[in-house]
Amino acid sequence: MSESERRAIVVGASSGMGRAIAADLIASGASVALVGRNGDALREVAGGDPRHFVLVGDLLDQAAVDGMFKQVSEAYGSLDVAVNTAGILPPLAPAADIERVDLERAMLTNVVGVHAAMRHEIALMRSAGGAIVNVSSNLGPHATLAGFGAYGASKAALSALTKTAALDHAAEGIRINAISPGPSDTQMSYRPGEGASDRDARMKDANPSGRVARLDEIVAAVRYLTSAESAYVVGADLVIDGGASV
């Protein structure tokens, strides 16, 4: 199958990594369903092309998720590529000070919500196979940082879920992998009150590579994991953090 024949979905496509990944898939010629909470931003990514369509909804609303994927099924029939980038960074706090509501919110959004999408994506790939990429993080599965307990726990759970799902569905021709970025050029990389120059100065000492990841570097990893070149890659968790977790 050529890239222009692929049918894809990007969950969390309105900003940051998800927006960049969706734009790259669209540029490759794929038909892309764009999922997120900001309809205007999603429509901007879609660019008015009727092959792409916008699905506005909350992954924690099961009825909404079921409705969105019903539309995907009716429009595309099946899926070849799915990328799940949706996630939140809860308030930072020492473990003893993490509020239950913040931990629950992180787990629900970063794990339960992604699973809600992934189970539908798998169902739409069972006829002919496909590739799913979940966006995890270096924090949790591969590294720890003070104050990031709630976030790290949710991302560690997502990485474990991804690997187990990969084993569960590899025989069906469905390849499920994860990427685990470190600080990247998105809003999440900023501390309160920081501008780009402040963040970049901080990263010179905070990261072995001295910088955040460019979005095109994240996109390149997803492009590989959803391509025929990675046909034998199953259950991988690709760390993209400039050496921070080493």
Catalytic residues: 151
CA angle 180/213/113 to nearest 5° reads: 40
Task: Give the DSSP letter of residue 95.
Answer: G
Q: Is 212 helix (H, G, I), strand (E, B) or coil?
A: coil
| Other CB atoms within 10 A of residue 86 CB | 23
130-135 sheet: strands from edge to edge: 53-56, 31-36, 7-11, 81-84, 130-135, 174-181, 237-240
Specify the 3-state DSSP secondary structure of 169: helix
Looking at residue 86, its amino acid is A
Report the alpha-carbon distance of residue 101 to residue 244 in Å, rounded: 29
Burial of 31 from C-beta contacts in 10 A (0-12 / 13-18 / 19+): buried
Is 163 within 8 Å of 235 (Cβ atoms)?
yes
Give backbone dihedrals phi and psi of 51, rounded to 5 degrees, phi first.
-70, -20
Compute the distance between CA of residue 32 and CA of residue 49 in angstroms, rounded to an integer.
10
